[in-house]
A and B are shown apart, each in its own frame.
Chain A
Amino acid sequence: GQSLEQPSEVTAVEGAIVQINCTYQTSGFYGLSWYQQHDGGAPTFLSYNGLDGLEETGRFSSFLSRSDSYGYLLLQELQMKDSASYFCAAPSGNTPLVFGKGTRLSVIA
């Protein structure tokens, strides 16, 4: 099976940088994805890491270390609209995606 652990809540100031960590236990690993979900909205894909290292997409970056079973999502130049829940997720066996419980990010002025 697979489980993914991430902090439940994070608060950060507008314009700052925030890092959301995700540790996983896996019986087979095919990479780590990150999704964003605004209240009342659908999860939307942000980033994927299949190999170790950093992937950058605009203000968002994601990092993976397979040897440490660890990844993180980095959000730079935070904006109020970044207030949302962020989920790490990974395939597990025959399950397309197993999700972490999500990290609720609050961006304050």
Chain B
Amino acid sequence: KAGVTQTPRYLIKTRGQQVTLSCSPISGHRSVSWYQQTPGQGLQFLFEYFSETQRNKGNFPGRFSGRQFSNSRSEMNVSTLELGDSALYLCASSLVGGPGVQETQYFGPGTRLLVL
């Protein structure tokens, strides 16, 4: 079974621009979560999607948004980029997920975003 894939793998943008990142989950997985990883803050939860609906959201500004398609593929968008948005953006998929549900999350290789 193919793993979680993310595109692009690397991206360079300038402040003020916007960016869209894509994530394809493992086949059959319906829950997709996004995380931001930085040296200072570690891995932080952005949001989770299930059945094309945002089920949970972390503590990030509204510039960060996402969506999920009927095939469970997900995109996240960051508008008006700031220097502090430079990070590794990871998506993870699981079968169903949800509050109180213990399922292994499988991570993609991430998209490394550099904002200049």
Contact = CB atoms under 8 A, between A and B. Distances in A.
Interface of A: 28, 30-31, 33, 35, 41-45, 48, 50, 87, 89, 91, 93-102
A91 B107 contact: no
Interface of B: 4, 31, 33, 35, 42-45, 48, 55-56, 58, 90, 92, 94, 97, 99-102, 104-110
Contact of B90 (A28, A42, A89): A42
A68 B48 CA distance: 30
Given A48-B102, A48-B104, A43 B90 contact: yes
Nearest to A41: B109
Main secondary structure of the interface of B (DSSP, over half): strand
Contacts, number: 62
B43 A43 contact: yes
B48 to A, nearest CB: 6
Contacts of A44: 107
A96 B105 contact: yes
A108 B55 CA distance: 44
A42 B88 CA distance: 10
Given A41-B109, A42-B107, A30 B102 contact: yes
B56 A97 contact: no
Given A43-B92, A95-B45, 16 more contacts: A28-B100, A33-B104, A42-B4, A42-B109, A45-B105, A45-B106, A48-B102, A87-B43, A91-B99, A94-B55, A94-B99, A96-B97, A97-B33, A99-B42, A102-B42, A102-B43
Contacts of B58: 95
A55 B101 CA distance: 19
A99 B46 CA distance: 13
